[in-house]
Structure 1
């Protein structure tokens, strides 16, 4: 191609030379772009096919609990019974063909207007009848860049009329683009095929199921049935529990609401007990009745344990036996008050009962005279028990 450059009137040589150069570059670029467009791109493709023939069983699940509401006193417990019912409602026979269409862009430009049309035939000739056509959803990756591979899954559900147990089926994937090399502007591309054989017998699906429960149980069912179990509650709260068919994801819930009622009897301080032991004005003696056959401070029969049997003895202990500087005397007083509170009907948590047990074990081998000889850590432990029992006796624990 010849390019003529005409000199404009009054234009200096440098100016028209520059114009000529730019024109040559522009024409060269357009020619290169046209060449690339004419080349387009190329595709390779592959399709897989796998036939399935199943009898899918249907299930229902229900869960209930009784009682589902409890109002209990602190320290008490309540037991509810859960029931899980499963019902196998029937079955449906299903057949389908599934697989992947894999497309590779082997060219240097992105694909344009990529489509895949699946053709399903009833086998290799004869008769190789066309059963149906299906447009593959490519929305997950509609454009393949140069060198990119796209994998597109498909599933074709067969109607009862299309099912031929033991028969051969052929899937053809017609892959087309409008910028295929040598076919620009016209849909063109490869058409790979794959064959598969539908099983001759039905495979059972969900014939048996496993039910898992968030309360920890697990059961297998091969037919309709039920299972029962119990759960004991001791804490306030709303308990939502779920049973799930693991194969299908179906689930059912049951809820238990537990309300802990406040204790009708509150703990009382050592000040109350020592003024109600019969030695303070007109206050009634309420200690003697609670003492019964005696209250042990220390384990029963321990070498240094004290058995409190009279209101007078209790009164002296509650006054720290006149030696408030002695930590063991303080522990005696708070421990006795705590045990009187419990005998009077006040609630004591496991934490409080554990502290009482620890204090009793210590006092079985240590009396008030031991205070000056025990180690510093032992003194700290004694004062810790005393302090925590003081909180309990003041209704703070």
Structure 2
């Protein structure tokens, strides 16, 4: 049986789907376009009960232009490459959504679309590609155009974690002084080389600074993990990258000197935010 037919596409926590754009979405030649940007993640784990693998993650999309998007679609594929230069499309789902990406959104305020597929294990190099298209992309009015973010899986495929524990947001950990933090973490401990404590990182308005945007989500995620919440492999990878970033830099203004700097760190912050809010695929739910 063809692997495409074997795959079971599961959409979890996705925004409500609507019909694909209609002929009424045709734009006039005088209209301006906008510019879209996107990133994505990919987790793979083994489902013990079925022998299948679960391919999951999130697609984050933001609109760098001055007008809202028209006709958004996300054509998402799990691909693999055993030999040769080309990846092959294997597992697929087309999201045809009425969602509008508002003008002026950023990596911090990006709209996030989770995805999850259960399918047979794949060999070779595995990656996910999201072909994101709109009808009003700058320079391509009425022609579906947009970014194609990719993410290649690295590492061994482990059993899917049990959905143990639950998660809280940074507001819970930072704004409630009566909440005891799990050991070995302390509100008054120095936060890496920042010159600030862990609590001061939580208390400082981000103001667009990628260090603080990532810092508050990193703190919430490690406290959730230390409190017993399960951590998917993709989130653990982001936490490791974030720890390396914080360990290798100094103060927030030196690490991220301008509002448009540290884009990667802002994206990590967005991914951890989805975990801390209980909507990351394969992660624990938000605590009641």
Q: Which has the larger radius of gyration?
A: 1
Higher RCO (CA 8 Å, separation ≥ 6 residues) = 2
Task: Please report the TM-score for the alignment, with normalisation by the length of structure 2.
Answer: 0.41
Normalising by structure 1, we get a TM-score of 0.30
